[in-house]
Amino acid sequence: MLQLRFLLRHKEKSVKIIYDVGSNNGSDIPYYLHKADLVVAIEANPVLTYGIKTRFQAEIASGRLVVEGCAVTAAGDAASVPFYVHRQHHVLSQFPRPSDGKIAEFEQIQVASRSLVNLIKQYGTPHYIKIDVEHYDKVLLKSLFRAAIFPAYVSAESHEIDVFAAFVSDGGYKSFKLVDGYTIPQVYGNHRISTMAGPADYSFLAHSAGPFGNDIPGPWFCAGSFFKILADVGLGWKDIHVSNVDLPQK
C-alpha cells in the first residue's frame, strides 16, 4: 500500500499523522498536509468522498493522503451500517439516527463502518485528531481514551457539555483552547501558521475547522478557566481544542 511504503521511507524519524474524522468536502485537508507527513481523511458520505479523491489525486498517489470512505464508530468494523445524509445541508449528515421529529430531513443510506481505534492501529499514532461527526463526538472520544489513546492534540465540537467532561474526566487533558466556527474566515482569513517547511500565511475558509494547537493564538487555559469561558460564550458550533504537551497559563 502507498501509505505503508511512505511510512517505511520515513521510519528513521518520528512521523506526524493527522486524522481528519468527518472530512466533509475536504476543506481542512490542505492545511493538514502543511502540518503532517500523513493525513488520514475519513468521510461517510460517498459523494463527498468521491470529491475528495478526485481533488487530491496527486497527494493520494504520493502516499501523503489516505481517504477512508466509511462511517467512524466506537464499535467494531462492519460491512454495512445506516448513515443519514441531510437532504439540504450535507454538513449536518450524521451516523446516529435522527430524532423522529427530524428524520424526514434525512435520507438513509448504507455505508461501511470502521472503528476509530482500529484505524489508528492501522495507520499509526496520531499527532492530532479532528473529530467533527454530528452528535457522536463524545462517543468517539470515550472510545479513544478507553483504548489508552491520548493524542498530543485533539479537537471536537462542543454541542454538549459532555464533550468537555470527556476531555477532562476520561482523557485527563489540562490545556484548552476554543475556536468559533462562525468566525473562522474572518478571524483566520490570512493567518500565520507553522508548517513542516517553516512559517507561512494561510487562509481558512468558511465551514473549515480552522487552526489547531499553537496555530490558535493566545494562551492555553486550565479546565477551570476554560469552563468559565464556555459558560460565558455558550455551547454550539465551537470546537474545543486540547493538548497534553502544552501547559495552561497560570
When comparing pLDDT for 1 and 124, which is higher? 124
Rounded to an integer, what distance in angstroms lies between the CA atom of residue 78 and that of residue 84?
A: 16
pLDDT of residue 236: 82
Average pLDDT of the segment spanning 148-168: 96
Q: Letter for the amino acid at 96?
A: P
Q: What is the tens place of the pLDDT at every residue in 186-206? A: 999 999 999 999 999 999 998
Domain positions in the chain = 2-243
Pick the CATH number of 2-243 from 3.10.450.50, 3.40.50.150, 3.20.20.100, 3.50.50.60: 3.40.50.150
Residue 153 and residue 243 in contact, taking contact as beta carbons nearer than 8 Å = yes
Give dist(CA 141, CA 132) in Å, integer: 11
What's the pLDDT score for residue 76?
A: 87
DSSP 165-216: HIIIIIT---EEEEEEGGGHHHHTTTEEEEETTEEEEE-PPTTS----GGGS
- Residue ranges of the alpha helices (H) in the chain? 2-9, 29-35, 46-55, 57-62, 116-123, 137-146, 161-165, 184-187, 223-233
pLDDT, tens digit, 9 for 90 and up, residues 5-26? 555 555 546 899 999 999 999 9
What is the three-class DSSP state of 136? coil
Residue type, 92: L
What count of other Cβ atoms lies within 10 Å of the Cβ of residue 46? 15
Q: Which residues contact 171 (CB under 8 A, 6 or more apart)?
A: 141, 144, 145, 150, 154, 242
pTM for the whole thing? 0.94
* Amino acid residing at 150: F
